[in-house]
Amino acid sequence: MTSRSGGKRRRWGYVWVFFAMPIVALPLILLALLGLGADLPSWALAHPKPTVILALTLPMVTAYAVIRIYYRRQDARRAEPLNNGIQNSEGVK
C-alpha cells in the first residue's frame, strides 16, 4: 500500500477503518449462525436494512474519528520541538 500524498506516509492506522466492518460483522454472523444471538427489538425487525447499514458503518466512522484524533495529537507532538526551536532562535537575536 502506497500513499501518493506528500508527508502522509506511514499512516497505517487508517487501515483499521477498513478492518472495523469485518471485525464487527464476523461475531454477529457467527452468533446468528449458531443461534446464540439475542432477539432484535421490534424497531430493528420492522426495518432491518437501516439497522444493518448502521451496524456496519458505525464502527468505521468511530474508527476513523479515533485514528484522526490520534494522528492529530501525534503531529502536534512532532511539531512542538520545531516550534520551540523557532521561538528560541528569534529570542537570541
22-61: pLDDT as tens digits: 888 888 778 778 876 667 677 777 777 887 788 888 888 9
What is the pLDDT averaged over residues 67-88? 76
- Sign for the CA dihedral angle at 55, 59, 64, 66 comes to positive
Q: Residue 69: its pLDDT value, please?
A: 92
Rounded to the nearest integer, the mean pLDDT of the chain is 75
Residue 26 has, within 13 A of its CA and on its CB side, a CA count of 5
Residue 93: pLDDT over 50 = no
Q: Cell match 425487525: residue?
A: 45
| Cβ-based neighbours of 71, under 8 Å, separated by 6 or more | 11, 13
Residue ranges of alpha helices (H) inside 1-93 are 15-34, 42-46, 48-92
Could you give the percent of the chain with pLDDT greater than 90? 2
